[in-house]
Amino acid sequence: MSESTDRQTLPRLDESLLTHIPPFSRLERRRIREILDLATSRRYDEGVTVFDEGAQAERFYMLLDGYIRVIRVTPTGEQVISLHIPAGQLFGIAKALGRDTYPATAVTASQAIVLSWPTRVWDGFVRDYDGFSTETYKTVGQRIGEMNTRIVEMATQQVEQRVANALLRLINQTGRKVEEGIEIDFPITRQDLSEMTGTTLHTVSRLLSAWEKQGLVQSKRKRITVTDAHRLVLICRGVSGS
């Protein structure tokens, strides 16, 4: 896609957009205005790469709306989805990790509205804006914790446990209540789930088809709804879903 169709620069944003977001919630409106005046705001279509793994970290980002999929590529060339980032969080924060390149690729998992700032202002944000540093490193800690949990799952759990855990994690982070249960609030494919859980597309398809027949999930057109979360929890604990 062209720049004009897959990402669009937005007009001047109001301070109220940041007043309740933790890295900025301690600040007066005039300080938030300073921050917004330094930012570039863009609307992205679904499936657009915001930045690539290994690229120079020239900017850092705040997701105002939508979801970001964080992707790593293994030494053998396999694509692994390591995280999904919801609205209201910073991403692309290589500076917080002591890096000058991005450690992963960020792709929009849905339509998204994103703010970004040049990396050269990072140290000023840390110095001048109360709460920015504390909340940023809290976010880093939470993400490292989630990735460590997934590493343990990959090493110790059976495939059906890993897939069940992935679905439960997604509905906890991004789920919205619908008549049938709790729906993951962005488009997600069976291939995405296989890349999140270190298994094959065939295995994920087989599991989801079996779970649909058992009334645990509904899956159609890039949408997955968990209809019986309790039974997925039992599967996570090693109790058969059949």
In three-state secondary structure terms, 114 is strand
The predicted pLDDT at position 8 comes to 66
Q: How many CB atoms lie within 10 A of CB 79?
A: 13
| Positions of the chain with pLDDT under 50 | 1-4, 241-242
The predicted pLDDT at position 221 comes to 84
The predicted pLDDT at position 100 comes to 95
What is the rounded distance in angstroms from the CA atom of residue 54 to the CA atom of residue 62? Answer: 20
Global confidence as pTM? 0.84
Q: Could you give the angle at the alpha carbon of 86 between the alpha carbons of 102 and 220, nearest 5°?
A: 110
Q: Which structure tokens are listed for 152?
A: 């343990």
The predicted pLDDT at position 169 comes to 93
Check: CB of residue 181 under 8 Å from CB of residue 227.
Answer: yes
Site of tokens 């301070």: 15
Q: Domains along the chain?
A: 3-131 (2.60.120.10), 155-236 (1.10.10.10)
From first CA to last CA, the distance across the chain in angstroms is: 45
The predicted pLDDT at position 37 comes to 92
Give the H/E segment covering residue 20.
none
